[in-house]
Chains A and B, each alone.
Chain A
Amino acid sequence: MNLGSANFTAERRLELRLVRRRRRLRTLVIYTLLIILSIIALLPVMWMVAISLTPLNKVFQYPPRLIPDPLSLTGYHEAVTLFPFYRYFLNTSLMTAARVIGTVFSASLVAYGFARYDGPFKEVLFVFILTPIFLPEQVTLIPLFVGYTRLGWIDTYNPLVLPAFFGGSAVYIFLLRQFFMTIPTDLDDAARIDGASEFAIYWRIILPLAKPALATVAIFTFMASWNDFLGPLIYLTSKEKLPLSVGLSRFLGESGTTLWNSLMAAAVLTVLPPILLFVFAQKYIMQGIAITGGGAKG
């Protein structure tokens, strides 16, 4: 009897040791895979940075080098002189700022309405407002272009900015409504008793409590607007009004086949703001994607 249980514990100990060893091996395999994948993930951008710091006569050399020798800042100098980087940066920033403000404000307004008030046709209207999520934007592109042409809005920022002030992307209305519905109505009622107007409840109570959700919407709008290409390509014609995205593609057409170091420098400078935003607001981005399914459009 005693012997049996001793045997049993010895066996059990051996088994545990095997399990532990297998687990350690598995951890090692996972770390190895993750490190390889991380290198692959970072390589393209590292490569772009490397080319941006390479003197022009060494851009096309074999073998390619990740650490340029000698280092050269000519690319960056040309990116802000030959290429009107500052101008385009300013254009992109202003366009993006207007879209972020418009979307955060109007989407939250609409979402608040749906989250807090009741009335006839509310459900139907909610579905109606959300349908654009499923419509490809190409269908509305041409009539919108025709309409803006009639209004004389081509080569202005109106077509790019104005839609943001009318609810922005339907995904954000949905996201914000979901968030507002988790805020208890006790606070609204207390404020109402104190004589606050309905707008004041939205502005002074709901918005401050919804900061994380609003931040998510702002960040996604920023990313989408910063990278927007098709819109500015169609609606803007003057060279000095372009955002970075279209500016870069023109720069490629004009001089890119030769000035690869400057082109890469301009590209690296262009992706810097989104990267910085990602570094500081990673939490909101990850949560936002998990909630909206990443299907957010500008």
Chain B
Amino acid sequence: MRSREAMYLYLFIAPGLLGMILFHLAPMIVSFGLSFSEYEITSPPEFVGFQNYHRMLFVDELVGKSLSVTAVYAVVGVPIRLFLQLFIAMLLNRQLAGIRIFRAILYFPSVVAGVAIALGWILLLNPTYGAVNHLLWELFGIIGPRWLNSTQWVIPGLLLMSLWGIGPGIVINLAGLQGISAELYEAAEIDGAGSFRKFLHITLPMMSPILMFNLVMGIVSNFQIFTQAYVMTSGGPANSSLFFVLYLYRNAFEFFKMGYASALAWLLFAIILIMTLAVFRSSPLWVYYEAKRERT
């Protein structure tokens, strides 16, 4: 009976197991091998030792450039988005008439993702005729920058656009806020705590695991930015929006340097892994976990 049960287990999970091996494990092993080879598809791969890694780390200036573009985008963008997500979730976490409609509207921009909306943003950020600069002028009297056409403003432009994609983060924060027991706030009120102190001493610690989760996901997804850069700027002007994955894509699918691109992919993997581990390692310092967790 036990062996029959085990047989059913393996039978049912077989597709997933096979998929994991075929589409993830085997390619990873091959990728690791390729990263030590020169391979341009037409001729068989040739082992070159650490040559790709040497070139990537010490010779190719565009690696450093694309890493710094990506890092700046992540370091500036992730905290802003974390803050906005929490702020908007707190606004939405109230029993007010029509609150469901507001929740839907504020999530809505995240539904329209991908290339279609990127095209729209090319127009919105047009320096002369775009809505963004028009509003800056009408509302604040500011002459807007040249956004995507400027080496200085292209990253801020893409960051601005990314703020419209925080819907999932808002929903996660909202779910977290709804999980905080009202008793905690009531007890704090009896002790005479004001709104700010309640936020600082209850909301923030209780939300810290969720903030950490969003921080990790934010870092991981920001290091993988591709579509916007490919469609909206092609990495320009003058490589000022050459995100790391765009550079990886070019090496692999435009220059057909599969070996070198594999080395770049492993560098990306290493960076994401290190940053994720750093967040997890530092978490005991700032993340508050309830000692007693009830299973839901």
Please list the residues of chain A having a beta carbon within 8 angstroms of any beta carbon in chain B: 27, 30-31, 33-34, 37-38, 41-45, 47-48, 51, 59-64, 106-107, 109-110, 112-114, 116-120, 122, 125, 128-129, 131-132, 134-147, 149, 163, 165-168, 170, 173, 198, 202, 223, 226-230, 233-234, 244-246, 248-249, 252, 256, 260, 263-264, 266-268, 270-271, 274-275, 277-278, 282, 285-286, 289-290, 293-295
Question: Is the CB–CB distance between A293 and B106 below 8 Å?
Answer: no
- A33 with B91, Cβ < 8 A, contacts A139-B269, A290-B171 known: yes
Query: Once the chains are docked, how many angstroms separate the CA of A256 from the CA of B26?
Result: 41
Query: Which of B18, B103, B111, B262: most chain A Cβ within 10 A?
Result: B111
Bitwise, B8-20 to A at CB < 8 A (1) or not (0) is 1111110111111
B40 to chain A, nearest CB (A): 11
> Which residue of A166, A168, A202, A285 has the most chain B CB atoms within 10 A of its CB atom?
A166
Q: Which residues of A contact B172 (CB under 8 A)?
A: 289-290, 293-294
Is B185 interfacial (CB 8 A cutoff)? no
Is the Cβ of A62 less than 8 Å from the Cβ of B128? yes
Given A106-B15, A136-B224, A139-B28, does the pair A41, B115 have CB atoms closer than 8 Å? no
B-side residues, CB < 8 A to A, are 2, 5-13, 15-20, 22-24, 26-28, 30-31, 34, 39, 41, 88, 91-92, 94, 96, 102-109, 111-117, 119-124, 128-131, 134, 138, 164, 168-169, 171-172, 174-175, 213, 217, 220, 223-224, 226-227, 230-231, 245, 248-249, 252-253, 258, 261-262, 265-266, 268-269, 272, 276
**Chain B residue with minimal CB distance to A110?**
B16
The 8 listed contacts between A and B (C-beta, < 8 Å) are A45-B108, A51-B123, A119-B7, A128-B17, A136-B224, A140-B24, A248-B119, A289-B171
Shortest CB distance B33–A (Å): 9
- Of B5, B106, B130, B171, which contacts A117 at CB under 8 A? B5
Per DSSP, chain A at the interface is helix
Contacts A119-B10, A140-B27 hold; do A30 and B91 have CB atoms under 8 A apart? Answer: yes
- Specify the chain B residue showing the minimal Cβ separation from A139: B265
Which residue in B16, B119, B128, B164 is a CB contact (below 8 Å) of A263?
B119
Closest chain-A Cβ to B80's Cβ sits at a distance in Å of 15
B6–A139 contact, CB under 8 A?
no
Give the CA-CA distance A234 to B253 in the complex, in Å.
Answer: 7
Given A110-B13, A110-B15, A135–B24 Cβ distance below 8 Å?
yes
Which residues of B sit under 8 angstroms from A142, Cβ to Cβ?
Answer: 31, 34, 252, 258, 261-262, 265
Q: Which residues of B contact A33 (CB under 8 A)?
A: 91
* Contact of A38 with B129 at beta-carbon distance under 8 Å, contacts A129-B20, A138-B268 already known: no
In angstroms, Cα B181 to Cα A250, docked, is 51
In the complex, are the beta carbons of B28 and A140 less than 8 A apart?
yes
A293 to B113, CA, bound (A): 18
A140 and B31 form a contact (CB under 8 A): yes
> Once the chains bind, are B128 and A140 in contact (CB under 8 Å)?
no
The CB with the most chain A CB atoms within 10 A, among B117, B131, B169, B266, is that of B131
A252 in contact with B231 (CB, 8 Å): yes
User: A109 → chain B, closest Cβ, in Å?
Assistant: 6
A-chain residues with CB within 8 Å of residue B122 when the two chains form the complex: 252
Which B residues touch A227, using CB under 8 A? 113-115
Q: A30 contacts which of B96, B171, B252, B258 (Cβ < 8 Å)?
A: B96
Pairwise interchain contact B171-A294, C-beta atoms closer than 8 A: yes
Q: Per a CB cutoff under 8 Å, which of A64, A168, A295 touches B130?
A: A64
CA gap between A48 and B227 in the complex, in Å: 19
The answer on a CB contact under 8 Å between A166 and B265 is: no
Provide the residues of chain A in CB contact with B39, threshold 8 Å: 146
CA distance A252 to B39 in the complex (A): 32
- Asked if residues B23 and A140 are in contact (CB atoms below 8 Å), the reply is yes
Residue of B nearest to A247 (CB): B115
What are the 9 closest A-B residue pairs judged by CB atoms, nearest first? A166-B19, A113-B12, A119-B6, A294-B168, A227-B114, A167-B16, A110-B16, A117-B9, A290-B175
| Closest beta carbon of chain A to B202's beta carbon, Å | 18
CA distance A163 to B213 in the complex (A): 27
Nearest-neighbour CB distance to chain A for B260, whole angstroms, equals 10
* Chain A residues within 8 Å of B91, by CB: 30, 33-34, 37
Bound-complex Cα distance A116 to B5 (A): 9
**Chain B hits for A268, CB < 8 A:** 116
Minimal beta-carbon separation of B223 from chain A (angstroms): 7
The interface residues of chain A lying within 8 Å CB-to-CB of B94 are 30
CB distance from B222 to the nearest CB of A (A): 12
New A-B contacts (15) at CB < 8 Å, excluding given A41-B164, A170-B16, A229-B226: A34-B106, A62-B129, A110-B16, A113-B13, A132-B23, A140-B28, A140-B31, A143-B31, A166-B16, A167-B16, A229-B115, A229-B230, A249-B230, A286-B171, A293-B213
Q: Identify which of B12, B17, B122, B213 gathers the most chain A CB atoms within 10 Å of its CB.
A: B12
| A15 vs chain B, min Cβ distance (A) | 14
Do residues A256 and B109 form an inter-chain contact, with CB atoms below 8 A?
no
A165 and B15: CB pair below 8 A?
yes
Partner of A229, one of B20, B114, B138: B114
- List A contacts of B108 (CB < 8 A): 41-42, 45, 275, 278
Q: How far is the CA of A277 from the CA of B112 in the complex (A)?
A: 11
Q: Residues of A contacting B131 with CB < 8 Å?
A: 43-44, 47, 64
Q: Tell me whether A267 and B124 are in contact (CB under 8 A).
A: no
Contact assessment for B27 and A144 in the assembled complex, using a CB-CB cutoff below 8 Å: yes
